[in-house]
Structures are given as structure tokens and as C-alpha cells.
Amino acid sequence: MDVLVVHGGAGLWRSPSRRAKRELLAALDVGVAAFRRGSALEAVEEAVAHMENSGVFNAGVGSALNLEGVAELDASIMDGSSLRAGAVGCVRTVRNPVKLARLVMEHTDHVLLVGEGAELLASVFKLSKLPPPSRSRRAEYRRRLSELLEKPPFFMERNIELVREHGGAFLYGTVGAVALDDNGNLAAATSTGGLWLKLPGRVGDSALIGCGTYADNRGGACSATGVGEAAIRVCLAKRVVDLMLRGFSPRRACRTALREMLELVNLPNAVIAVDRRGGVAAAHTSPHLLWSYWRRGEQPRARTRGLHVS
């Protein structure tokens, strides 16, 4: 059974734009087409790459800028049939870090490469370059930096406070996808530009296997979004998959993992999941989550809420 689930990030926005919904559904179409050429792994890679290219989401072309006004991108991908995985962090020059993550998985002996080492691999394989930030993103960077400096403390808590105050400007986040193919193989992928105004060198959960991305054919696949530091502390994606491995439905696994996370780290996060039977779920502790899924015979639509966990 071919199943694909995609997300465009946990949100504090009131309503996503038509363009965001359109690009999310387009990513779903791209991923579905990839099933015909290959596997679940192809589907999640192509769906995420489309969202990286869209410029709408906080990934690839649309990535947030760090404290220095530079985009540093993270991504990962995982094959549930073999537990092979690849990831990259703090990449500044690569348009599609999810494609670079797959190169790490398939053409090196490593799982995670960061910074210049990851960019060297990208140059060997001639991956497309990341274009410079748009004028609007540069203006957004200057506004946020000014506000952050005016109202210390200069750390994550203040950054999240600004998100709540200016939700319209902090629209979309990390992107991700999970899939199950007709051969019973599962895969997951996640990509992000990270937190706005993060310290240079910060790596979030999207680059860390088990935190932002995990897939295991015995249980399921999961992609996480939200505040990466929270997902890292609880290994959120693997926690969801481990619960499915124990027999939990995707819905119950997502809800249980997020409730446990809230008890330990009270920061907004969200997850999407698919299990080995093709069941799907999306859950969030943030106000909203932009997501959608495709299953043969069902009509996909953009969704702005999943199971809200509080």
C-alpha cells in the first residue's frame, strides 16, 4: 500500500496562505509520482525537495536566517528497511539539503556531515547552489534582530515570545515527509532552516536521526517539527516509532509521545507518522500544523490541524 504524509511545519499562525496550501499539495503530488519511479525513500526525498524549492517554507530557498543573517540548513533522511540514514547540518550553500543527506547515506560511511565537509560532498556531486536571501527575508531579519536586541534576554525563550507576538511573520516551519510503499518499506525525511536568529553553528533536531526523523519497518516512520531543542531532549521521532513498534496506532503513538514531551519540556512541537499497516496520524502541541496525506483511492486536502495535544 503506497501512503505518503507531508507537513509544512508547526505553526502559531491563524490561517496559512493559499500558496502554502498549494505548495504542500504540490509536494504531495511530486512524492506520489516518485512512487512510480522507485520506493518510499524516493517519495519522501522528492516531496521534501519540492518544499525546499518552493520558498514558502522554512527550508531550502525559504530558510530562516541566523544571528549573522546567513541561512544554515539541516536535513536528514532514513530508510526503514535497513536503518540506513544520512544527515547534514549547518549547510550554507546547498539548495536541497535533503538530497545531500541521501548522498551522505548512500555514498559515505557516515550518517552526519556538517558545514564545510557536507558542502564539499555537495560540490563533488554538483548539487544546485542555494540562492542568496530574498529582499523580503533580509528585511525580516533586520526587523527581528532589532526587536530581539531591544528586549533581552537574548535566547530561545525571547525568540519564541516574539513568535507568539508576531505570528503572522513566523508563518511556516520545518518540512517533512513519511511514506510506506507497496513492498512494505518505510522512509522519513525532514528539512529546515532552523530557528530565526539562532546562534551560528546551531544544529537542530532535523539533522539528528531519532530526534527529527526516524523510520523502522518493524514499527513506522515519523518526522517532527517545532522547537528542535525540545525534540532533541526527548528523541521525539524515535519515541513515536518505538510506541508504534509496541503496537500503538499512529494516532495513539503521536499523542502519547507529545504528552510525555509536554511533561518534560513544555515547548511547541508536532509530528506526522505512518505505521507498517498504512495508518497515518498528525499531532501537535503548537496551535496548528500544516499537513496532508495521500493514500490510494483517497482525495488529499491541505489540513491546518491534526490531533491537538495539551
pLDDT for residue 13: 59
138 confidence band (pLDDT: 50, 70, 90)? very high
pLDDT for residue 305: 80
Residue 168 in this model has a pLDDT that exceeds 50 = no
**What residue has cell string 483511492?**
297
296 confidence band (pLDDT: 50, 70, 90)? confident
pLDDT for residue 304: 81
Q: 3-state DSSP: the chain helix, strand, coil percent, rounded to 5?
A: 40, 25, 35
In the set 108, 174, 192, 285, the catalytic residue is: 174
pLDDT for residue 254: 98
Rounded distance, CA 111 to CA 103, Å?
10
Q: What is the pLDDT of residues 200-252, one digit of tens each?
A: 999 999 999 999 999 999 999 999 999 899 999 999 999 999 999 999 999 99
Residue 36 in this model has a pLDDT that exceeds 90 = no
267 confidence band (pLDDT: 50, 70, 90)? confident
Residue 166 in this model has a pLDDT that exceeds 60 = no
C-alpha cell at 169: 511573520
Residues belonging to the chain = 310
Residue 151 in this model has a pLDDT that exceeds 70 = no
pLDDT for residue 299: 82
Rounded distance, CA 292 to CA 289, Å?
10
Q: Is 225 tagged catalytic? A: no
Residue 263 in this model has a pLDDT that exceeds 70 = yes
E-strand ranges in the chain read 3-11, 73-79, 84-91, 112-114, 175-180, 186-192, 213-216, 220-226, 269-275, 280-284, 288-295, 307-308
Residue 154 in this model has a pLDDT that exceeds 90 = no
**pLDDT exceeding 90 applies to what percent of the chain?**
76
Average pLDDT for 178-185: 96
Average pLDDT for 1-30: 87
pLDDT for residue 301: 85
Count CB-CB contacts under 10 A for residue 278.
15
The single-letter DSSP state of residue 83 is T
What residue segments make up the domains of the chain, in order of their start?
3-308
292 confidence band (pLDDT: 50, 70, 90)? very high
Rounded distance, CA 16 to CA 166, Å?
14
pLDDT for residue 152: 58
Domain covering 3-308, topology: Glutamine Phosphoribosylpyrophosphate, subunit 1, domain 1 (3.60.20)
